[in-house]
A and B are shown apart, each in its own frame.
Chain A
Amino acid sequence: MTTQIHEATPVPAVASTTTPQAPAARRVVRPIPMTRLVGVELRKMFDTRAGFWMMASVGIVSVLATAAVIIWAPDEAITQNTFSTAIGMPLSVVLPIIAILSVTGEYSQRTGLTTYTLVPWRGRVMAAKVASTLLVGVVAMVVALGVGALGNVVGSAITGLDATWDISLAQFGNIVLANVLGMLMGFMLGVLFRSSAGAIVGYFVYSLVLPVAFGTLAAFQEWFRDLQPWVDVNFAVTRLFDQTMTTEYWQQLGVSTLVWLWIPLAIGLRAVLRAEVK
């Protein structure tokens, strides 16, 4: 028996000398799929208090706006369109900020140091951020549509009138597009500034200062009036919400977003890909 014990003892010794070599052996390392990166970016949007409340605000804003319409709107105005406008306005402010923070968080909180080390292809990280941001945007709008529809049903029941469903699928599509463009604007400002404060200030200049400036210019300068739809991106985008788009409107949307969105987005992305991460 004792000899057996003696024979048995070398076994752990052998094991302990072989295990140290184990990490040195090359494992099969699989590439990181894009879906995983999108999942990670979605997670990062929700996992801080600020991020969580940002997302929660989408739902809260929808409910508050719906309640406000039911309480204050005159009976004949209780239509789906009223609800969608009431919800859409605050939503179009919140969604671009979500887009901004998804990019600038990496720089303001310096998490980019880890993110770009684990995924050293920044183009893929950016693509995952765009995808997750747009996913959140579309889901938020579907939620808003649902809440608005519910409000329409409840509101109509209170007024005793038949519910008015006056939003076509095409119209909803346009609203989604307008918000997607808004989020891409936020994203563009994020990659351009790479700082939360800078990008949010930039966003308010974009959405509050520029429209007023262009509007004033158009009001006082004859020559600018016809030009405005081509250069004022907010003017061009806002028409998606409330008008039937004509071919010319689409062209104006294309031209104004080229200048105010696509070109700066390209410049910002180039900067993100090249800039040193500290």
Chain B
Amino acid sequence: MISVEHLTKQYGPFTAVDNVSFTAAAGRVTGFLGPNGAGKSTTMRIMVGLTRPSTGQVTIAGRDYRELVNPGLEVGVLLDASAQHAGRTGREILAIAAQTMGLPKSRVAETLARVGLTETEAERRVRNYSLGMRQRLGIATALIGDPQVLILDEPANGLDPAGIRWMRDLLRGFADQGGTVLLSSHLLHEIEVIADDLVVIGQGRIVAQGSKAELLAAAGTLVRTADPAQQDHLARALHEASVVTNPIDGGLRADADPELVGETAHRAGVVLRELRAADGAGLEEMFLELTAETAREGAAA
């Protein structure tokens, strides 16, 4: 379990992380979501002792990271897949990690196989690796110590769709075995398919957190009318029923459950073409909305 308590990191007048608190629970995959520069990486670097917080603390299974006597065996960390020595082979990088942790050499080949890097790929120098291969190697470094906690910064970056699916299954399996997974991303749909819990951060502040199911429920209902001209009519009807709506993808997103929206449409005599929980679409909109005031694109929107 990872517990972040009132974490703040200031660089001069700039506050990169602003009073952030959340928990990544054991047995669950926690997605750490936010636009670029929101403070995800800073928070993760603080977790593993690479950056000192201004105030607040992070504990992993109740202890400070620096109190762990051999951290690689307890916490698997991938902060940047590109931060590997370009002149070393993949196998060598993994062998160094194994040696540092005091693991037998056999673990290197096992772990390479586990992340899907072939023997020939492992003999190549990292400068010849694609980003996807570097990610796999980075994940291998995180996994080799067989830790109970994983902290992964943008691990899906550069992976192809098959790679993302592989990683999803890997992290799912890890969490199902009682492990704690915290992974960050700036892409909602990437994290949506993997995470159980979501922590959304914008400009250093947490703007939403909860289980994915909760946040999806909060995302409301998506409704499309058969005749686009009737959409305004439905919006007005919903407004009279005190339901907040906003247009989305040639339809409406309503802050209500589908039953209420259907009933309202029926009473207003509007024929519907589609009526369902907004799910991803709603969550994405929520994500953009929550981060709009903080995101770079906010000014334009």
Q: Do the two chains belong together in a single complex?
A: yes
A residues near B, CB below 8 A? 19-24, 26-27, 29-32, 36-37, 39-40, 43-44, 47-51, 105, 109-114, 116-121, 274, 276-278
Contact pick for A48, options B48, B65, B66, B88, CB 8 Å: B88
Q: Which residues of A contact B97 (CB under 8 A)?
A: 114, 118
Q: Does B83 make an interface contact (CB < 8 A)?
A: yes
Chain B residues positioned under 8 Å from A120 (CB to CB): 48-49, 65-66, 68, 71
Contacts of B70 in A (CB 8 A): 29-32
Q: How far is the CB of A191 from chain B (nearest CB, A)?
A: 17
Q: A48-B88, A118-B71 are in contact. Are A278 and B45 (CB under 8 A)?
A: yes
Q: Which of B50-80 contact A (CB under 8 A)?
A: 50-52, 65-66, 68-74, 77, 79-80
29 contacts between A and B (CB under 8 A): A20-B176, A20-B177, A21-B178, A22-B177, A23-B146, A23-B178, A29-B69, A29-B70, A29-B73, A30-B102, A32-B101, A37-B100, A39-B99, A40-B96, A47-B96, A48-B87, A48-B88, A49-B87, A109-B83, A109-B86, A109-B87, A110-B84, A113-B79, A117-B71, A119-B100, A120-B68, A121-B66, A276-B45, A276-B50
- Of B45, B50, B73, B83, which is within 8 A of A27 by CB? B73
Residues in B lying within 8 Å of A, measured CB to CB: 26, 45, 48-52, 65-66, 68-74, 77, 79-80, 82-88, 92-93, 96-97, 99-102, 141, 146, 148, 176-179
Q: Does A113 lie within 8 Å of B50, measured CB to CB?
A: yes
- Which of A19, A24, A48, A276 contacts B148, CB < 8 Å? A24
Q: Which residue, A105, A109, A118, has most C-beta atoms of chain B within 10 A? A: A118
User: Bound state CA distance, A109 and B92, in angstroms?
Assistant: 15
* Alpha-carbon gap, A121 to B69, bound state (A): 10
Q: 5 closest Cβ contacts across the A-B interface?
A: A24-B178, A48-B87, A110-B83, A31-B69, A20-B177
Instruction: Please state if B83 and A113 are interface contacts (CB–CB under 8 Å).
Output: yes
Cβ-defined contact, B84 with A111, below 8 A: yes
Within 8 Å CB of B99, what residues of A? 36, 39-40, 43
Neighbouring B residues of A117 by C-beta, 8 Å: 48-50, 71-72, 77, 79
Other-chain contact of A24, B48, B71, B87, B177 (Cβ < 8 Å): B177
Check if A23 sits within 8 Å of B52, measured CB to CB. Answer: no
Chain A nearest CB, measured from B231 CB (Å): 49
Question: Which of A21, A36, A112 makes the CB contact (< 8 A) with B177?
Answer: A21
Q: How far is the CB of B18 from chain A (nearest CB, A)?
A: 18
Determine the chain A residues whose CB is within 8 A of the CB of B77 once the complex forms. Answer: 114, 117
> How far, in angstroms, from A270 to B176 measured CA to CA in the complex?
43
Q: Are A109 and B85 in contact (CB under 8 A)?
A: yes
Bound-state CA distance A116–B100 (Å) is 11
Complex-state Cα separation, A13 to B7, whole angstroms: 44
Is A50 within 8 A of B87, CB to CB? yes
Chain B residue with the shortest CB-CB distance to A50: B87
A245 to chain B, nearest CB (A): 41
Using CB atoms, name the residue of chain A closest to B80: A113
B69 in contact with A30 (CB, 8 Å)? yes
- B71 and A36 within 8 A (CB): no
The answer to whether A24 and B74 touch across the interface, beta carbons within 8 angstroms, is no
Q: Are B69 and A118 in contact (CB under 8 A)?
A: no
| A-side contacts of B52, CB under 8 Å | 274, 276
